[in-house]
Structure 1
Amino acid sequence: MAAVFLSTANISLPSLPSSSSSSYFLPLTSTTSSYFHKSSVRRQLKLCKVVNDSPPYPPNLTKRSLSICLTTTFLFSVAGDGDGYSNANAAILEADDDEELLERVKRDRKKRIEKQGVINSSNKETAYLQDLVYKLSKVGQAIENNDLSVASSVLGPSSDTDWVQKANVAFTKLSSSPEEKTEVDAFNSSLTSLISSVIQNDIEASKIAFVSSASAFEKWTALTGLVGQLKGL
């Protein structure tokens, strides 16, 4: 580095008398030797001053070096900011999840509105289901009192009775999802067991079958949104 600055420095050396003129010729005496020694010292001091006063780096900054500097800085910032990069990706994924959740909420809301419209236009079917609630309530009270004769008179001799068929008409019209249809099947199966147990005068089996029937019906009303539409639940 010092060699570069020394080559461009403007160094002025002391002028010596011309050797062509004999009148200015100085013999090599002790005085002459002292003069050359002092001149050499002054030159060295000037050289040191030039080197010390020069900037530590060349002042000229080219476009290429600036471009390299900026590129390197960017690469180091990316490499050193791994968490920020991960957080940015996480934010993008969270935004996608939020949009998907919003779309799901919109679809569910649309389904609920459509289902409520079907319920509002199904007064006859709702009345069938209200009668079902009434009959189940009476059967439950009779079984609790161990009075299976009363339970039998309410249920009828088989699952082909009029009120059961009407209830299934309502089930068919108001059930749209696989879960709702599954609960309908569970209710009908438990109801058949209940009627059979009551006819056989089996109080314990009647209680188990009744709980299963009532549970399946309650789950179905919750799935369809009919809980608030029916009294006695």
Structure 2
Amino acid sequence: MVKGLIHSVESMGLVDGPGIRTVFFLQGCALRCRYCHNPDTWEPDSPKAAWYTPEEVLHRLERFRPYYGSTGGATFSGGEPLLQPDFLAETLELCQQAGIHTCLDTAGVGLGHYEAILAHTDLVLLDVKHYTPTGYRQVTGRSMEAFDRFLTAAQAMGKPLWIRHVAVPGLTDGEAHLAGLEGYLNTLRHVKRVELLPYHTLGVHKYAALGIPYPLEGVAPLEAKTLEDWNQRLNQTCCDKE
């Protein structure tokens, strides 16, 4: 019997896809993003995480179905959900069979089997860490090749994308960087929305609790209003490329 290790569940989330959603945060992530606010999800196992079968996930979703309306549903996030491909694919299939909208919130770095996963995914929230190989490695500590493999699969299958990009002062912000991001996003198809997310420090306390040095110590949070013009511009110029 296939099972998945889930770090935590948010019963009625409002920011991880359209409408009201139940969000499952899967345990494990191969990236080490410098601004990550969930370092407690990195390791592939954790005594605080819980094992679920796909049927148990569906049962929990059914409890909240009355709140979803016509736009809500289930979102699978992390950590990185693509690191548990068999569990993810089976769970997504059960959700769709039950008529529950499925959303995958991912950085695109997993263990393959992407066609089976995407076949039952209605929407992909794709976290674009950076748009150049050098910048991507600087942010995540990894090569961009794995991300590109997932993106290629999603593009080939025509999956609608909501793009997310965290703007970090001195790392992934500024006019030149965001103009470069705009150029990159204009090479993609099926982009329905772009979300520039301001860097914050809400997860810094977790590093101290885990005894891990925080990579961006001293970097101040970014105010959301500084990104308003670029958010509007990117949504006007980069979306609905079929």
TM-score, normalization by structure 2: 0.18
Looking at CA atoms only, which structure, 1 or 2, has the larger radius of gyration?
Answer: 1
Instruction: Indicate the structure with greater helix content.
Output: 1
